[in-house]
A = this chain, B = another copy of it.
Amino acid sequence: MHTVYGNSISGNCWKPAFMLRQRGLPFRWVEVDILAGASRTPEFLAMNPNGRVPLLQLPDGRRLAESNAMLLHLGEGTAWLPADAYERAKVYEWLFFEQYTHEPAVATVRFWVAYLKKHEEWREKIAETMVKGYAALGVMERQLGRTPYLVGAAPTLADIALYAYTHVAHEGGYRLDDYPALRAWLARFAELPGFVAMPCKGP
């Protein structure tokens, strides 16, 4: 059985749980209290030297870090990862866009505001970061005004990865009024068969 070491408030941790459910694979969820430093203990660092969740343990005991690496690993051979070389490359493109451009702005502001309660104290830093977050959402809006999902007519791993923090962006104070295609996509994604909202702890 797979094991996910994760934190229930984390969109990154929701990704492998969502994909394991899509695959019909039962899994064990081990809650890691990141706010209390549980991902930086010697025991956890022995499992993931980078000290982050999620961490996926495969049935044979081998481990894998990085949420989008988990999506690619678990998505191989499913309709979530297209066989066509260019569509597949576009999935990769969105996955790296998510981790480099989107998550550091959209997820980070949510974490600061909703969990660290730094809304007042870090007002300036939050405002600066939200400019980047809105730009990232704008890149998505542009694509979603053209295709129902990020890589075309059908949902892919790209949509899972971007849904993770986009659907809770409002918890950080982001307003999506000017992003109609993105809002329609959020609603469309949530109606997919087997959809499971956050938190997504168990099978």
Binding site for B on A (CB under 8 A): 49-50, 58, 62, 64-70, 72-73, 76, 85-86, 88-90, 92-93, 95-97, 99-101, 103-104, 138-139, 142-143
Residues on B with C-beta less than 8 A from A65 are 93, 97
Task: Given contacts A49-B138, A65-B93, A66-B96, list 18 more A-B pairs with CB under 8 A.
Answer: A49-B142, A50-B101, A64-B86, A65-B97, A66-B100, A68-B96, A69-B90, A69-B92, A69-B95, A70-B89, A72-B92, A73-B85, A73-B92, A76-B85, A95-B96, A99-B99, A99-B100, A100-B103
**In whole Å, how far is A54's beta carbon from the nearest beta carbon of chain B?**
12
State in angstroms the CA–CA spacing of A86 and B62 once bound together.
Answer: 9
- Contact A64 B93, CB 8 Å, known A73-B85, A85-B76: yes
- Given A62-B86, A89-B64, A99-B96: A139 in contact with B69 (beta carbons within 8 A): no
A66/B97 in contact, CB under 8 A? yes
When distances are taken between beta carbons in the complex, the residues of chain B under 8 Å from A49 are 138-139, 142-143
Q: What is the count of identical protomers in the complex?
A: 2
Of B58, B99, B139, the contact of A50 (CB 8 Å cutoff)? B139
Cα–Cα distance between A138 and B143 once the two chains are bound (Å): 38
Residue of B nearest to A96 (CB): B66
B72–A89 CB distance below 8 A: yes
Closest CB of chain B to A50's CB: distance in Å? 5
Contacts of A64 in B (CB 8 A): 86, 89-90, 93
Report the bound CA distance from A50 to B138 in whole Å: 9
Give the chain B neighbours of A58 by CB distance below 8 A.
86
